[in-house]
């Protein structure tokens, strides 16, 4: 994850014309992506599916072209075909569930993330776990206003084993997922500080689950550190994590304070979503990975205190 210098001036000059994003702009590019989305939208509203003829009439797409699209979408699981009627397939359902979940967590996390950026002065990141690729996918970023800053891109994907937000996601998955990930993932040494020893990573994951907070320093990007914590939802699952990216020279003097602020942010988002947050203040004993989460408690207004065991960087 790059550390970037903040630009000294806006990319747009005051007198420049705004970029037009109007739907009425002429565009002569491929129509296939738009047709795919039109098919998905049409079938989403069709409770009992639709015939090819009905879809052709509704979309005003040539039957041959529509059939070609549908064959590809059926093959990918985005559309299903039964009794000559088309309906949304499991892949489309999964995509819709991911979008809905992310929309909810974005609404809950955005004001908390803005406050976290203001209180720490560092870039705040929100990520979701992509279970299929076993990666952390960044879905929101609020950049620091400092000249030297940690600056990931929304939509970028990062490994679980060597990033703070990745470990916050990994540590709270089902034991079978963790075992498979640690056994099968190709762990590249990205910097001299990257931990690739699987037994050591297993211990780190256990520590993260116990403490509820992650600190990493220079394991993915030289000079960059991170502090992260899981967002625990009403059903006890961890699909998202929140964290800050920090140049190491600003992380080291403020480790305990930054950890407390990130844990409190995770607590607030978790509570808003009906869940609870893992917290170093609560981690006087280790909690089994399969334990039932506690009842949600309103977030405290003061940062939680970190216990001595969390001072060791992950």
The CATH code of the domain that includes 46 is 1.10.10.10
Distance CA 263, CA 242 (A): 9
CA atoms within 13 A on the CB side of 105: 29
Q: Which residue, 110, 120, 112, is CA-closest to 149? A: 120
Residue 281 Cα distances to 98, 165, 193, angstroms: 31, 20, 28
Q: Quick check: is 192 in a domain?
A: yes
Residues 55 and 187 grouped into a single domain: no
For position 275, what pLDDT does the model report?
81
Q: Quick check: is 257 in a domain?
A: yes
- Residue at a domain's end among 44, 68, 88: 88
For position 147, what pLDDT does the model report?
84
How many domains is the chain built from?
Answer: 2
Residues 164 and 296 grouped into a single domain: yes
Q: Which range marks the domain in which residue 62 is found?
A: 32-88
- Residue at a domain's end among 52, 71, 88: 88
Q: Quick check: is 4 in a domain?
A: no
Note the helical H segments in the chain.
32-44, 52-59, 63-75, 90-120, 164-170, 175-184, 198-211, 248-251, 255-272
- Residue at a domain's end among 58, 88, 118: 88
Output the CA torsion sign for 180, 185, 190, 194: positive
Q: Quick check: is 214 in a domain?
A: yes
CA atoms within 13 A on the CB side of 226: 32
Residues 78 and 159 grouped into a single domain: no
Residues 243 and 139 grouped into a single domain: yes
Q: Is the pTM of this model over 0.85?
A: no
Residues 171 and 252 grouped into a single domain: yes
Q: Which residues of 45-81 are buried (b: 16+ CB within 10 A; e: fewer)?
A: ebeebbeeeebbeebebeeeebeebbeebeeeebbbe
Q: What CATH number does the domain containing 244 carry? A: 3.30.450.40
For position 20, what pLDDT does the model report?
34
Residues 173 and 221 grouped into a single domain: yes
Distance CA 163, CA 142 (A): 18
Mean pLDDT (10-residue bins), the chain, 314 residues: 45 34 46 89 90 94 93 94 92 77 82 94 94 91 86 88 96 96 93 94 95 93 93 91 94 93 94 69 34 31 37 34
Residues 99 and 57 grouped into a single domain: no
Q: Are 228 and 214 within 8 A, CB to CB?
A: yes
């Amino acid at each position: 994850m790059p550390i970037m210098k903040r630009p000294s001036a806006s990319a747009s000059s005051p007198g420049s014309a705004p970029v037009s994003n109007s739907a009425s702009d002429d565009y002569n590019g491929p129509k296939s992506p738009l047709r795919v989305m039109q098919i998905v939208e049409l079938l989403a509203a069709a409770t009992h599916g639709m015939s090819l003829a009905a879809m052709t009439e509704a979309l005003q797409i040539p039957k041959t072209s529509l059939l070609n699209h549908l064959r590809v979408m059926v093959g990918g699981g985005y559309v299903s075909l039964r009794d000559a009627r088309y309906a949304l397939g499991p892949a489309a359902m999964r995509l819709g569930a991911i979008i809905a979940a992310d929309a909810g967590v974005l609404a809950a996390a955005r004001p908390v993330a803005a406050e976290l950026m203001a209180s720490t002065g560092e870039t705040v990141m929100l990520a979701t776990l992509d279970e299929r690729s076993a990666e952390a996918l960044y879905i929101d970023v609020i950049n620091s206003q400092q000249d030297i800053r940690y600056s990931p891109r929304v939509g970028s994907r990062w490994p679980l084993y060597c990033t703070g937000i990745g470990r916050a996601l990994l540590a709270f998955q089902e034991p079978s997922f963790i075992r498979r990930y640690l056994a099968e993932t190709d762990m590249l040494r990205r910097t001299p500080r990257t931990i690739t020893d699987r037994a050591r990573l297993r211990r780190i994951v256990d520590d993260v689950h116990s403490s509820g907070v992650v600190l990493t320093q220079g394991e993915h990007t030289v000079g960059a550190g991170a502090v992260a914590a899981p967002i625990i939802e009403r059903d006890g699952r961890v699909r998202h994590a929140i964290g800050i990216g920090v140049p190491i020279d600003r992380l080291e003097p403020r480790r305990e304070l930054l950890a407390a602020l990130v844990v409190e942010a995770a607590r607030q988002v978790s509570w808003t979503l009906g869940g609870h947050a893992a917290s170093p203040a609560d981690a006087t004993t280790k909690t089994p990975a399969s334990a039932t989460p506690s009842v949600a408690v309103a977030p405290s207004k003061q940062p939680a205190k970190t216990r001595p065991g969390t001072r060791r960087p992950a």
